[in-house]
Structure 1
Amino acid sequence: MTRTKANLAASTAIATAATPEVRTVTLDAPFTRGETKIETVLVRKPKSGSLRGLSLSGLLNLEYGALETLLPRITDPMLSKQDIANLDPADLTQLGSEVMDFLLPKGAKQDLSQRT
């Protein structure tokens, strides 16, 4: 039995979503691009090269311009600048929170979890 391209992509996405370097964000306000309804977005941990031209403080402060530049580089399906501009603010916050969590060192995450 041969796998179709869609089945292969789906199984790859599921396997990838289970790794700590990829997170799945379920959108509060799904949107349609062409004939495809986008309800979830995979966000992968950015490598240093993905951060070129960006300020880490801008990303950690969830600045729109920084997220608008970074998200197309690290999302699947790839979010365009137009997609990002039309996102519900809650969804932009969810995506930005995942980015922020990826950027925090382990020690900082432990400190935060001990304080709460």
Structure 2
Amino acid sequence: MALKAVIPVEIGLTCLRKEFFDEHSNDDQLKLNLDCLDEVRDQASQRMAKYQQKMAEYYNQKVKLKIFDIGDLVLRRVTLVTKDPTQGKLGPTWEGPYRVVHYSRRGSYHLEDLDGNKLPRPC
């Protein structure tokens, strides 16, 4: 059994936590905190949703939509699915060029390579 050395001055000092501790009121406060736990969680989730909405609004203000016409040549970003694992981190981040064939909705384009082979999914 290891003994802990105590300085005699620390023995005589009392802290406010020990002096005003009441076990009955402490139990009541713990029960009240447990009862209010769901409300605190709801408030936290509301704050988080509000923060995320503000961040999305700020981000969307900075984004500028680039519209391409049919026949324009574009590059497509290499994704994890289309990336060649043998090239490592120094592999290309863009692939192409591709030609815009069809404009389906805002920001979504159907592409084909220069040989006329259409890509299976819009970009």
**Normalised by the shorter chain, which TM-score bucket?**
under 0.3
Which structure has the higher relative contact order (CA within 8 Å, separation 6+)? 1
After TM superposition, the score normalised by the length of structure 2 is 0.21
Greater helix proportion: 1
Larger Rg belongs to: 2
